[in-house]
Structure 1
Amino acid sequence: MMGQQTGVQDKLFYSFNLDDHVPRSHLLRSVDRFFDLGDLRKHLAPFCSHTGRPSIDPELMVRMLIVGYCFGIRSKRRLCEEVHLNLAYRWFCRLGLDDAVPDHSTFSKNRHGRFSDSEALRHVFESVLRRCMIEGLVAGEGFAIDASVIKADASRARGVSGVETIDWSQGEWQSRAVREYIEALEENNPTDDDIPASTESTTPPKNISLTDPAARWTAAPGGPAFYAYSTNYLIDLQAGIIVDVQATPAYRSQEVESTKIMVDRVAQRFNLRPRRLVGDTAYGTGPMLGWMVQEKGIEPHVPVWDKTERKDGAFSTIDFAWDEQANEHRCPQGHALRRDRRVFKSPRARITKADTVIYRPSQSDCTSCSQKDQCCPNTPTRKIARSIHEAERNVARAIAATPEYQQSRCERKKVEMLFAHLKRILKLDRLRLRGLSGAQDEFLLAATTQNLRRMAKWLMPSFQKAQEMPA
C-alpha cells in the first residue's frame, strides 16, 4: 500500500539533541577530539575592554574558521550560511538550534583588531602543535622545508612597472594592504643619514600591484606571470606535522631566509632542534649551508647549489685539487692557482661581494700549458671562485653520498603532499585576504587545519572510513 504523509499538528515540546544527529565517522567529530581552545580567552583577555557591550565569543569565530578551511568554504558569507543550516557545523561550533550565527563582517573586524594585536591565530596554531607533540606525532629528529606559490587577490591588470613613481597618498589607493606595505617600507628602510656610502639600492620589482603592493610578480610555476605570496612550511618528518609556517612574497631569497626565522622560533618556543634539515637545491646555497652547519649544528640534507660545472667540455672546478695547507688549487697539469702571488705586510681577505675568493695561476703557466684549450679556451688564464663556505658545501656533498640522504629525499615528498592537499582539498589556491598579514592569517589557519586532520587520520580509526572528505 502506498504511504502518504499526513499533516499533523505542531508539537508543543521537542526533544532534540544535536549530538545524536552527527555521524560517528564525521570528520568534525575526529577533529573536535583534538581541538581545545580552553586558554584562548585567557590569551585574548589583555586585548579586550572590560566595559561596553560583550563581544562575539572568540572560540566560536575560530571554530567557524576551522570549519571553513576543513571543507574548502572560502567565503565568509557562505560560511555563515552553511553553519546556520548544517547540524554538524552547529555541533562543532557549540551552537544550539536557536543560537544566532555571527555576521560575516565580524571576522574581518576581529582579524584587524584583537586577533592581529594578540597573534591569536598563531596561538591557536601552536596550541594544536602542542597537542600533536603530546600525542607523539612530532619526533624533532628531522625537519623538511619547502615553499609553494599561492596567487594573491590582485588582478594582473591593476599593476604598474616597478621603476615607475607611485603616489600612494591618493585616496583611491589608501587601502589597508597599501598602508601595511608603506609602513613596512618605512620600518625597513633607514633614513638618508643612516645609509652607509657603500650601500647599494636593491633591485626594484618588475611590476607592483596597486591593489596589493606586497605581493610579488612571479612566473615561477610556469605560464603567465601573476601576483603571489609564498607559504613556507617547516614540517617534522615522522608524521608530516607542520611545526611552523611563514608567509613571504613569492621571492626565492625571502623564502630561503624564512627558514632561519622558523627554525629559531621552533627552538625557542618548543625546544625542538632537529639533527637534519631536508630541502631542495634552493636551500643549498653557501650562506645557508654555513648557517646550518656552523651556527645550528644541523646536518644539511640538501643538494649543493653548484654552478661550477662546465658545459663546453672544459675542466670544471672539481678537476682542480684543493690543498688546504698551502691554500691553493692545483690544475690537472700540477700548476698552482693562488689567491695572492706575493706576500703582503697587511694580509688581505680578497673576499668578493659574492662571498668568494678568486684563485689564479701565473700567466706564464697558462700560456705554455698544453691543455689550455681544454682549460680556458676563451680567456688568457683560468680563474676559480672558491666560496668562503666551501667547507660546509663539502659537508653537504659528503652527506649526499650516504643512504640516509636517499631516505631523506623520499621523506621530503611529505611537504609536496601537504601543498597538494592545501590547494586541492582545502581550496587554497588563491588568497581572499590582502597584504602580507592577510596571507599569514590564511596560511596559519590552513596549517592548523592540516595538523588537525593529520591527527584525526593517524589517531582515529573511524576517520579512515569517513566519506565526507577524503584526507
Structure 2
Amino acid sequence: MMGERRVDQGSLFYEFSLERHVPADHLLRAIDRFVDLTDLRVRLAPFYSSVGRPSIDPELLIRMLLIGYCSGIRSERRLCEEVHLNLAYRWFCRLGLDGEVPDHSTFSKNRHGRFRESDLLRGLFETVVRRCIGEGLVGGEGFAVDASLIKAEANRQKGIVGTKGLPPELTSRAIDEYLAVLDDAAFGAATDVTPKFISPADPAARWTGAHGGQAYFAYSDNYLIDLDHGIIVDVEPSTAVRQAEVTAAKTMISRSEAQFGLCPTRLAGDSAYGSAAMLQWLVHERGIEPHIPVFDKSKRADDTFSRSDFAFNAGTDTYRCPGGKQLTTTGTVVNDGTTLLYRASKHDCQACTLKPRCCPKEPARKVPRSIYEGARDLARDIATTEAYAVSRRQRKKVEMLFAHLKRILRLDRLRLRGPTGARDEFLLAATVQNLRKLAKLIQAPTMLPAT
C-alpha cells in the first residue's frame, strides 16, 4: 500500500546532536584525535592587534584547510560551501548547526599575512611529526628521499622565451618572490642554464619536459620519509632541476636533526642523489650510509676501455691499466677543483698492443678521478649488500606517498603561485598524509559499556 504524503510541519523544539550523527569510523573522527592546535594562538598572538573587532577564529581556518586537503577539495570557495552543508565537516570545525562559515577571501588575507609571517603551517607540520615520533611510528634509522614534479598554476602557452627575460613593467607577488629567490640554491642559483620559457604568472616555476610528454611549468615537491611506516619527516619545495632537489635533500636532513634529533644511519634514494659531492656530504659530513646508485657517466659507448677497467691502488695513489702499466697524477685538480687526472706514460702507450682499445685517438691514456671517489666507492660496495636490496624495496614507500598525493588528495597541480605558495600547499598536504597515517595505524580506544 502506498504511504501517505508527508507534510512538513515545523516542530517547536528539536533535539539534535552532531556528535551522534558523525559515524564512529568516519575519517575526520579518526584524524581529530591527532589534531593538536593548543599552541596555535600563542604563535599567532604577536600578529594580532589588542584592539578592534574580533577576527575569524584561526583554529577554524586551519581545520577547514585540513578538511580541504584531506578530501581533495581544491577550491576554497567550494570548501566553504561544503563545510556549510556537511554535518561531519561542521563537527570537525566545532561549528555546531548554526555556526557561521567564513568567507573564502579570509583564507587569502590570513595566508599572505599572519600564517606566513608566523610560519604557522611549518609549525603545524612539525607538531604532527612529533606526535608520530611519540606514537613510535618513526624509527629514525633508515630514511628515503625523493622528489616529484607538481604542475604550477601557469599556462604553458603563455610562456616568454627565457633568453628575453621578463618585461620590466610586469609586477605581481609571484614576480617579487621570484626575484627574492634568485640567489637561493634550491631555486635561482641551482643551475646556470637558462630555461627555454619563463612564465610571467609564476616565474619561479621551471619549464620542464622531464616526463617525456609535453613540457610544462612545475615545482619539485621533496619528501624525506622514515622507512619504518612511511612517515613524512620533512618536506621542501624547490625548482624542478636535479641540483635543486639535492640541495633540498640536504636541507631536510639537517633540519630533521635540528628539530627532532633524528640522525639516520642510512639514506635510500635514486641516482639523482648519487652525485659525487652528495655522496661525500652524506658519508664524511653526516656519517650516513648512502643506499643510492652512483651517478656515473664514465662508461664509454665506443667499445674502448672505461674507467672501471682500470684498477685503483689507494696505497700508491695510482691506477693500473689492463696492460699492467701505471697511471700517476701530479695532484693538479680540474673541473672547478673536483677532479684529478691520472696519466699514463706516452712511451708505455705507444708500445702497448691494447692501444686501439684504450686510446686510439690520443697519444696516451688519461683517467679522471673525482676527489670524492672514496665516497663513491663506498656507495658501490654498499650496493652489493642485502641491506641495499632491502632499502631499494622500502624506498617505494615514498613513491606511493606521491601517488597518494596526486590521486587521492588531488594535488597534481598547484593552486597557489610562487615559492611560498608551493611551500604552503606541500606542507598542508604532507601534514594531512601524516594525520591519515596516524589514524590508520593507531586504533581508537574502545569504550567499555558501564556496569
TM-score w.r.t. the length of structure 1 is 0.91
Distance in 1 separating the partners of 2:390 and 2:345:
45
1:458 to 429, 441, 444: 441
Match of 1:391 in 2: 374
Does the aligned pair in 1 maintain the 2:293–2:383 contact within 8 Å?
yes
How far off its partner does 1:354 sit? Answer: 6.5
Structural mapping, 1:160-179, within 5 Å: 160-168=160-168, 170=169, 173-179=170-176
Distance in 1 separating the partners of 2:5 and 2:240:
60
Match of 2:226 in 1: 236
The alignment status of 1:42 with 2:42, answered yes or no, reads yes
The alignment status of 1:374 with 2:357, answered yes or no, reads yes
User: Structure 1 residues 12-21 or 429-438, which shifts more?
Assistant: 12-21
How far off its partner does 1:288 sit? Answer: 0.3
2:265 to 262, 272, 275: 275
Structural mapping, 1:69-84, within 5 Å: 69-84=69-84
Structural mapping, 1:344-383, within 5 Å: 349-353=332-336, 355-383=338-366
User: Structure 1 residues 18-27 or 4-13, which shifts more?
Assistant: 4-13
How far off its partner does 1:43 sit? Answer: 1.2
Distance in 1 separating the partners of 2:441 and 2:376:
37
Does the aligned pair in 2 maintain the 1:361–1:381 contact within 8 Å?
yes
Structural mapping, 1:94-105, within 5 Å: 94-105=94-105
Q: Deviations over 1:191-223 (max 9, x none)?
A: xxxxxxxx9x93322211111000000011120
Match of 2:448 in 1: none
User: Structure 1 residues 261-270 or 156-165, which shifts more?
Assistant: 156-165
Structural mapping, 1:54-453, within 5 Å: 54-168=54-168, 170=169, 173-185=170-182, 202-340=192-330, 349-353=332-336, 355-453=338-436
Match of 1:19 in 2: 19
Q: Deviations over 1:96-120 (max 9, x none)?
A: 1111101000111101000000100
Distance in 2 separating the partners of 1:327 and 1:15:
85
**SS, match of residue 66 in structure 2:** helix
The count of aligned residue pairs is: 441
Distance in 2 separating the partners of 1:387 and 1:214:
32
Q: Deviations over 1:11-65 (max 9, x none)?
A: 1121111011111111101000111111111111122221211111111111101
TM-score w.r.t. the length of structure 2 is 0.95
**In 2 relative to 1, CA 279–164 (structure 1 residues): closer, same or farther, beyond 3 Å?**
same
Distance in 2 separating the partners of 1:212 and 1:67:
27
How far off its partner does 1:153 sit? Answer: 0.3
Does the aligned pair in 1 maintain the 2:166–2:200 contact within 8 Å?
no
AA partner of residue 39 (structure 1): D
**In 2 relative to 1, CA 369–186 (structure 1 residues): closer, same or farther, beyond 3 Å?**
closer
Does the aligned pair in 1 maintain the 2:332–2:341 contact within 8 Å?
no
**In 2 relative to 1, CA 2–130 (structure 1 residues): closer, same or farther, beyond 3 Å?**
same
Distance in 1 separating the partners of 2:262 and 2:311:
39
**SS, match of residue 113 in structure 1:** helix
AA partner of residue 457 (structure 1): K
How far off its partner does 1:379 sit? Answer: 2.6
Match of 1:195 in 2: none
How far off its partner does 1:71 sit? Answer: 0.8
How far off its partner does 1:461 sit? Answer: 7.2
Q: Deviations over 1:68-104 (max 9, x none)?
A: 1111000000000000000000001111111110100
Q: Deviations over 1:135-160 (max 9, x none)?
A: 11011011000000000000012211
Does the aligned pair in 2 maintain the 1:151–1:431 contact within 8 Å?
yes
Gaps of 5+ in 2: 446-451
Distance in 1 separating the partners of 2:5 and 2:22:
25
More relative contact order, 1 or 2 (CA 8 Å, 6+ apart): 1
How far off its partner does 1:279 sit? Answer: 0.3
How far off its partner does 1:127 sit? Answer: 0.7
**SS, match of residue 448 in structure 1:** helix
What percent of counterpart residues are identical? 59
Please report the RMSD computed on the Cα atoms of aligned residues, expressed in angstroms.
1.7
Distance in 2 separating the partners of 1:83 and 1:8:
26
How far off its partner does 1:294 sit? Answer: 0.3
Distance in 2 separating the partners of 1:187 and 1:135:
36
User: Structure 1 residues 316-325 or 6-15, which shifts more?
Assistant: 6-15
Gaps of 5+ in 1: 189-198, 341-347, 463-471
Displaced runs of 4 or more, over 6 A: none
Distance in 2 separating the partners of 1:37 and 1:133:
17
**SS, match of residue 244 in structure 1:** strand
